[in-house]
Amino acid sequence: MFFHIVLERKMQLHPSFFGRSLRKNLVSKLIKDVEGTCSGRHGFVVAITGIESVGKGLVPDGTASAFVTFPVKYQCVVFRPFKGEILEAVVTLVNKMGFFAEAGPVQIFVSKHLIPDDMEFQAGDMPNYTTSDGSVKIQKECEVRLKIIGTRVDATEIFCVGTIKDDFLGVINDPAAVA
Amino acid sequence: MSGEEEENDAELKIGDEFLKAKCLMNCEVSLILEHKYEQLQQVSEDPMNQVSQVFEKSLQYVKRILSRHQLTEFELCVLGNLCPETAEEAVAMVPSLKTKGRAHSDEAIEKMLNDLSLVKRFE
C-alpha cells in the first residue's frame, strides 16, 4: 500500500556548498540519496513531496571531517507491502514453480502450491496456468488480485510471497478482454 | 525480519507509524507522481532519466490499475471521498458513471465500491 509519511534523515553537507543555495543543495542531495531506495521499516521511497524542516547544522568535533550534519524532516510517498495485505499485481513471469508478479516496485512470487488446485501449468510460447475448462488463465501481463503472506527485505528491495488460493483472489476479469 | 512476525495487515497490526500515517489511494498517488513528473519536465528535457526506477514502476502501476476501472481520476476520487454504499447512491453522486456510453452495470459499480471500502478500512 502507498503511504504518505514524514521521515527524518541526517544529511551531511560539505561547507563548499554553503551560501545562498545551501537549502537547495541539501534538498537535491536528499532527493538523490533517498528517492528510489528501500528499507525494511518504511518500504520503497517513491517520491519526496516536501520538506518539513531543516534543523541547525552540527559541526563535528575535531578536524577529521569537515562535513556538517543537518537533520532534515521530509514528507514522502512510500510503498510498503504488509503481510496479510490484499493487492493487485501484474504477472511478469510464469513457470512450473508458480508465477512472479509486480505491484509497483515490489516483486511477488506465488508458488504453484498457492494456486488453486484446478489450475494446471501449460508450457509453450506463452506459459500459463489454466483451469480445466479453459475459463480462467494466468499468463504474462494479466492482472491478478493476491494476498501477501510473507515479506523479505534485503539491502535494496523488498520481496514478497503471495497466494491466490483464498476467496475473491485470482485473475481480475477485464470486461474489455472478454469481448 | 524479527519485527515482521508480529505484523499482519489483516488484523491491522502494521506498526504505530503506519496506523497513524495517511494511506494513499491509487488515484491520489497517480496525481502526486504525475505532478512531480510534470515539474521535472519543466526543468529538464529528459525527465525519464532523472526519476528512479521505483518512481517509474509505481507510476505505471497506478495508471494501469486506474485504467482498468475505466473511471476518470476525478470520479474515482469523488467516490473515494464520499464512500457511497450502494450503486444507486454512487450514480446519484457521480452521474457520469452511467453516461458517456460507458454504462457501468450496477454489478460493476458495486464491485468498485467494495474495492474502495477495502482501502477505506485503514482510515
pLDDT digits (tens, 9 = 90+) for B95-118: 777 765 455 667 777 777 777 676
Q: What cell numbers appear for A76 in the block?
A: 514522502
What's the confidence (pLDDT) of residue B78? 78
Whole-model pTM: value is 0.78
Residue B8, pLDDT score? 73
B74 touches chain A (CB under 8 A): no
Residues B84 and B95: their CA atoms lie apart, in Å, by: 13
Strands A143-153 and A170-171: antiparallel
Chain A residues whose beta carbon lies within 8 Å of the beta carbon of residue B51: 35-36
Mark yes or no for CB contact A105/B4 under 8 Å.
no
Q: What is the ipTM for the molecules in this complex?
A: 0.84
Residue of A5, A36, A85 with shortest CB distance to B9: A85
Separation of alpha carbons B93 and B5, rounded Å: 42
What string of H, E and C letters represents the secondary structure of A67-97?
CEEEEEEEEEEEECCCCCCEEEEEEEEEECC
Q: Do A153 and B1 touch (CB under 8 A)?
A: yes
Closest C-alpha to B56, from B78, B37, B72: B37
B103 close contact with A: CB closer than 8 A:
no
The minimum CA-CA distance between B52 and chain A, rounded to whole Å, is 5
**What grid cell was written down for B112?**
468498485
d(Cα A90, Cα A103) in Å, to the nearest integer? 6
Is there a contact between B9 and A172 if contact means CB atoms under 8 Å apart? no
Closest approach of chain A CAs to the CA of B6, in angstroms? 9
Q: How confident is the model over A94-134, as pLDDT tens digits?
A: 999 999 999 999 999 999 999 999 999 999 999 999 999 98
What are the structural domains of chain B? 9-120 (1.20.1250.40)
pLDDT in tens, chain A (179 residues): 999 999 999 999 988 888 888 888 898 899 999 999 998 889 999 999 999 999 998 888 877 778 899 999 999 999 999 999 999 999 999 999 999 999 999 999 999 999 999 999 999 999 999 999 989 999 999 999 999 999 998 877 889 999 999 988 999 865 434 33
